[in-house]
Structure 1
Amino acid sequence: MIRSLPASPERLTMPRHGRHRRSALVTVIVVVALLAACGPGGGGEGGAPVPDGELRIAAQFAPRAGYAVDTDDAFVLTQLGATEALTAAAADGQVRAALAESWTQLDPLTWRFVLRPGVTFHDGSPVTPAAVATALRYVVGVAAPPRALRGLGLVVAEDGADAVRVSTAQPDPILPLRLSSPNAVILAPSAYGGATPSVFGTGTGPMRLVSAEGAQRAVLERFDAYWGGRPALARVTATFVSDPAARALALRAGDVDIAQGLPESSLLEFSAGSGFDEQTAPAPRTVSLLLNQSAAPFADPRIRQAVARSLDRRALAEQALAGSALPASELFGPAVAWGATDPPPAPDVEGARALLAQAGHGPDNPLRVRLWTYPVRAELPTLATAVQAMLRDAGVEAEIRVGDYGTQEPELIAGRYDMFLLSRSYLTDVPDAGATLRSDYTCDGSYNLNHYCSPAYDALIATLDTTTDTAARQEVFRAAARMLTEDVVGVPLVHSQENVVTSGVAGFVLDPFAKRLVTPQLAVTAG
């Protein structure tokens, strides 16, 4: 069915603030009602683009902080095409122009960004150096600055009628790349009148956020004055559906045109020839088994090595997760240019038993440990059960506890745990692994959950402070990954994959970094 909108759609309601706890049954009813309200189902792939069409999305992750730009909700906004930053990042790690058309490093601490001329915010006001300075000063001045901008000592000043100067306390060779972070988006001055910035009608992207219903649904309208050209879509409706089976059902029923993050079992229904278009790509996300090196038993490298040898990573990816992930041989995988393409090491259960015996653990004295994880990512409890069985074969008894991550994190940081199964994006903010390698593995790293400390590793990571060349930085990333593997700093198990299935959509290209979904070229088609 062709879904066209009138030239001047009626005004939508303003957002309702606050959240309410609901039972699972009420939540399902609300989701179904919202999907049904989005309109009747569309046809399959193919057909001509529909002028002034509406795109309906079953989104995987909902905003959890009222669309606050200094939180991970900023990723939802950039995905939906509402907000933009001074720069953008390509998948190969290169930085490209966005709201800034060029930039120059004036000295080791200072960069000058020249703004793209003629750009306006959704409220009609111009993008000026003063507006950029206001936006960046806000985000670095919050109590807990976003990861990409934290600890930089960032200072922003207007520099003439068309530029800003951005300086840091220490030399930062990748500052332009950092400013591509979804947390560094530029909002109109009118956004900053309250306690927190309002993202409604204050961005610069191809779509203008006009309403939201808590963490359930968001509606966006086309921004006709978009600097990158008039968008093809007139409206986007995103319904946030946490249950992957429900997202698949909504797509199958024709209630949405795009569904994110479907389980492998559902993907089989949307194969070639089914009238749907599936796109899958490796994601820069690895599920690792963290091992607490600050205390027994994993302070002993023999026991860490025994655990690594016990695990069949290919079986975890292909059998436990039904092929929805890729087996890992090290921290980085095929999603990035510097990732390893080697097959994972084959399991060596006998070798694992021998190492355990050397450490004083045998059939009469099995090693008993606690294995923690969390349920937000559905694959983690499944992997925990499979890992438990593999460890048992080698002589390690693991007691599984699945709980809330927020409750577990203080224990992890304090080193009061044994093993933890973690899904971690190593390129959460920018396509450069330096931040993750520093925060997760250096001696004073803020997120060093393995409690690993190696002066040699820290010296290697310190070279990134003065390395500006992209290829040279990537060589450091490779060397760091090899060192972590040799020291058995946790055990990378599988690399995640991003998948999106569409129906009756033209111009969609999957972003494995999950930062872009709605683009000016995206359109619905006549089925």
Structure 2
Amino acid sequence: MSRPRRIAAALALGASALLLTGCFAAPPQTAGTGAVGDRVAVAMLQPPRSGLTPFSDDAFKLSRWRTAETLVQLDAAGDAVPMLATSWSRADPTTWRFTLRDDVVFHDGTALTAAHVADVLTRATRASPPPRILDGVDLAARADGDDAVLVTTGVADPLVPQRLSSPQLSVLAPAAYTGDRVDPVGHGSGPFRLTAVQGTTSATLDRHDGYWGEPARVAGIDVTFVPDGTARAAALRTGTADVVEAVPPGQYPLLDPALVHEVPMPRTNTLYLNTARGPFADPAVRAAARAAVDRAALVASAYEGRADVAQGLLGPALPWAAPLRDDPSYAQALAARPAPAAVRGVPITLGTFTDRSELPEVAVLLEQQLEAAGFVVTQDVREYSAIEADALDGAFDAFVLSRATVLDSGDPVAYLASDFGCGGGFNISQFCDPGVQAALERAAGTEAGPERRAATARAEAAVLAADAAVPLLHERVIQGESARVGGVARDPRERDLVTTDTVLGAP
């Protein structure tokens, strides 16, 4: 029986997981060698939503399977490093030149060319909807000879290389593009060749021995899409899956602790305070709310200890953020906050949504903490689609939101500007402060690297000094890995999973 069918069987009989352990034998393998017979079985959370077109969020699956590649990729700090492009330079404020590898052959045997890369980037700008990373960006591309591509933007943009790392800008072979349709099957350039996709059920990939880089150590990947969290956990328990995405926290106690790994996510659970009207227009009242919050209690209760207490807006998924808070200027900014006001019977409305199951529980705990400090809390909890417009219009005094802090560029400045800039499109706090706006603009205009990260930390401090939002906790995701698999990526950005370093061996 094939690996996908074994997983499917485990899903169908998830309630009888113990019975399954004797039904399916592990495939032949050579311990620790990554021998040709070895294939990795992966149970993924979400099935494809857009036919695996790279212009959609399905692109992240192609990236996690290492079948589609981009011009550049990001290192752990979020800096751009070579992938299909070997180097890049800035020709003028709005133009970048990317030099391409000369040894890349797509899975269908065609070679990578500058003209084709320019065509793919142009197609991305015309996609409907366009890739998120291009939202609001006036980008154009053209070949510069046979081995380079010129990328121009309407205004100076120091993040062009980071933007081109987005999986939604992956480059597939020319034959993948037919009209408005993009077919990734057999048309990638990575170490694994996508050979078949069975709708929203499964996908199969084989090692590509003609890969331009280091070859994969396993023979292939067998993917099954498993939306049900209990079934994914059952597949891990029974050994019918080697790698499991997003194990539900409730399943954690039922699993061998050695098989589960918590990965910090670039997502912060935040209490946004309405700074434009209502009680929280007063900075001292905002300070009272901030002082009332017990972050550790939220983590212990709503997240069963599987989250990180927030020290700022940016969490451990961005490892450079915490050390920058040791700069004396950061502490000085926070020291300027007003003292908390004495609050007695101040009514506030607290909103959140049901789509993330933990948030209503967080709201209940926050209500208790805020009422203990003297606030009188009325909750409004709905589905996100029914509450988003009101939240953005400032209908609530406070709003609890689970917010991604980096977008596809791997850079958090866009998030900070969107949520706390005077013209921000997601400004739930209704916040506009000249000093914060100046700090955000300085960060946005700084070249990528250490100086930009330092400017980002200063902008974070300016936001927190105004108590426009109270960061509560940083979320984690639980990734399952069987005892026989090694070298699986634990990537906070969810771009890598099975890599060329992944290997199978006897437990």
In the superposition, the TM-score normalised over structure 1's length comes to: 0.83
AA at the equivalent of 2:353:
T
Task: List runs of 5+ in structure 2 lacking aligned partners.
Answer: 6-10, 332-338
Query: What's the CA shift for 1:201?
Result: 2.2
Equivalent position of 2:307 in the other structure: 325
Query: What's the CA shift for 1:410?
Result: 2.6
1:323-348: per-residue Cα shift (whole Å, max 9, x none)? 100100210122224323679x9xxx
Query: What's the CA shift for 1:381?
Result: 3.0
User: 1:290 and 1:145 mapped to 2: Cα distance?
Assistant: 29
The 3-state SS of whatever aligns with 2:281 is coil
Map 1:86-485 onto structure 2 (within 5 A): 86-270=71-255, 276-340=258-322, 354-357=341-344, 362=345, 366-375=346-355, 377-468=356-447, 470-485=449-464
Query: What's the CA shift for 1:173?
Result: 1.5
Structure 1 residues 455 and 145, CA gap change in structure 2 (3 angstroms): farther
The count of corresponding residues between Structure 1 and Structure 2 is: 483
Is contact 2:159–2:409 with CA below 8 Å preserved after alignment?
Answer: no
User: 1:408 and 1:268 mapped to 2: Cα distance?
Assistant: 34
Query: What's the CA shift for 1:42?
Result: 4.2
Query: What's the CA shift for 1:160?
Result: 0.6
User: 2:495 and 2:31 mapped to 1: Cα distance?
Assistant: 26
Query: What's the CA shift for 1:251?
Result: 0.4
Query: What's the CA shift for 1:399?
Result: 4.2
- The counterpart of 1:512, out of the listed 474, 492, 503, is 492
User: 1:289 and 1:373 mapped to 2: Cα distance?
Assistant: 13
AA at the equivalent of 1:526:
A
Query: What's the CA shift for 1:311?
Result: 1.2
Equivalent position of 2:8 in the other structure: none
Structure 1 residues 69 and 220, CA gap change in structure 2 (3 angstroms): same
The 3-state SS of whatever aligns with 1:140 is helix
Is contact 1:264–1:323 with CA below 8 Å preserved after alignment?
Answer: no
Is contact 2:139–2:154 with CA below 8 Å preserved after alignment?
Answer: yes
Is contact 1:47–1:526 with CA below 8 Å preserved after alignment?
Answer: yes
Query: What's the CA shift for 1:397?
Result: 4.1
The 3-state SS of whatever aligns with 1:242 is coil
Mapped pair 1:40 → 2:24: yes
AA at the equivalent of 1:220:
L
Query: What's the CA shift for 1:264?
Result: 4.2
In the superposition, the TM-score normalised over structure 2's length comes to: 0.86
The 3-state SS of whatever aligns with 1:356 is coil
Mapped pair 1:524 → 2:504: yes
Is contact 1:338–1:478 with CA below 8 Å preserved after alignment?
Answer: no
AA at the equivalent of 2:497:
L
Structure 1 vs Structure 2 CA RMSD? 3.1
AA at the equivalent of 1:518:
V
1:167-202: per-residue Cα shift (whole Å, max 9, x none)? 111111121121111111112222221323222222
1:204-248: per-residue Cα shift (whole Å, max 9, x none)? 222223333444433323223221133223332222333433322
1:281-303: per-residue Cα shift (whole Å, max 9, x none)? 42222111223334324333333
The 3-state SS of whatever aligns with 2:460 is helix
